[in-house]
Structure 1
Amino acid sequence: MSRPERPRRAAFRVFRPLQTRWMDNDVYGHVNNVVYYSYFDTAVNGWYVDEGLLEIAASPAIGLVVETSCAYFESVAFPDALEAGIAVARLGTSSVTYAIGIFKAGADEAAAAGRFTHVFVARESQRPTPIPPDTRAALERLRGAPASPSA
């Protein structure tokens, strides 16, 4: 396997602020690797909520994470302020794969870069379902032109 390239800010379409927490640090003095997966989930689901696409307890279709990966390039630690860059890497009928970069606030190069895949399922049956049209339209925008550097 080859190591992925360290992404730059221009590779992402939208940015969400994240704040490290005291409990994120491990005994080595930096954010523990497993915490990054929580950052990914928080950034993407926060975007869904802000876009009006997810009612956590009531949406009939929900995205379940079926695959994740992360490459680390630079340590971050509490009390660093972070930004998560989000882009859509692949959009299928019932699934979407996101590219996510974790940046120190204002940095041009990602401290970590990950991917994760949501499969949309009907809440009641837990069976795959097509991505709802309004969600698909919003995800299509995340495949478009990069966000401005000030975003």
Structure 2
Amino acid sequence: MTRPSPYTRSDFRLFRPLQTRWSDNDIYGHMNNVVHYLLFDTAVNGWLIDRGLLDIRNGDTIGLVVETGCQYFREIMFPDSVTAGILVTRLGNSSVTYEVGLFANEDDGAAAQGRFVHVYVDRETRRPKALPDDWRTALQEISA
């Protein structure tokens, strides 16, 4: 198995600033691996909310994560600031594959990078729902 190279900031069109917290560090003094997944989710969903696409309280459409993965390259720890680069690598009828790079402080290379797939579903029935045109337009703006 060949180890992938870390993304660089130039691989992304969209960036979201994030901040590590005291509680993110584990007993080894670096950010616990589960926090990386929280940051991926926070970055993507925060952008969807800011764009007016996702209404987490009253919207008919919600995203369910059906697949995830992460590769780690360097440690991140509190009090590092983190910038998440977000890229759409696949845009399906009701699913979206996101790649997210986490950049510590001013580093150009990703400390960690993740991939996750959202399937967008009806809030009540939990059945897949086709992405509306405004979602598709916004997601194409950050597509590879």
Q: Give TM class, smaller chain.
A: over 0.9
SS of corresponding position for 2:137: helix
AA partner of residue 89 (structure 1): T
| Alpha-carbon distance, 1:13 to partner | 1.4
SS of corresponding position for 1:23: helix
AA partner of residue 139 (structure 1): L
Pair 1:63 & 2:63 matched: yes
User: Percent of aligned pairs with the same residue?
Assistant: 58
**In structure 2, C-alpha distance between the alignment counterparts of 1:105 and 1:117, rounded to whole Å:** 27
AA partner of residue 138 (structure 1): A
Q: How many residues align?
A: 144
AA partner of residue 119 (structure 1): V
Alignment match, 2:122:
122
SS of corresponding position for 2:118: strand
**In structure 1, C-alpha distance between the alignment counterparts of 2:92 and 2:30, rounded to whole Å:** 36
| Alpha-carbon distance, 1:105 to partner | 2.6
Alignment match, 1:105:
105
AA partner of residue 70 (structure 2): C
Alignment match, 1:135:
135
Q: Is there any run of 5+ residues in structure 2 with no aligned partner, and where?
A: none
| Alpha-carbon distance, 1:140 to partner | 0.4
Deviating above 4 A after TM superposition, structure 1's stretches of 4 or more consecutive aligned residues are none
* TM-score where L is the length of structure 2: 0.97
Alignment match, 2:11:
11
Q: Is there any run of 5+ residues in structure 1 with no aligned partner, and where?
A: 145-151
CA deviation digits over 1:30-54, x for unaligned, max 9?
0011110000000000000111111
Alignment match, 2:96:
96
AA partner of residue 29 (structure 2): G
* TM-score where L is the length of structure 1: 0.92
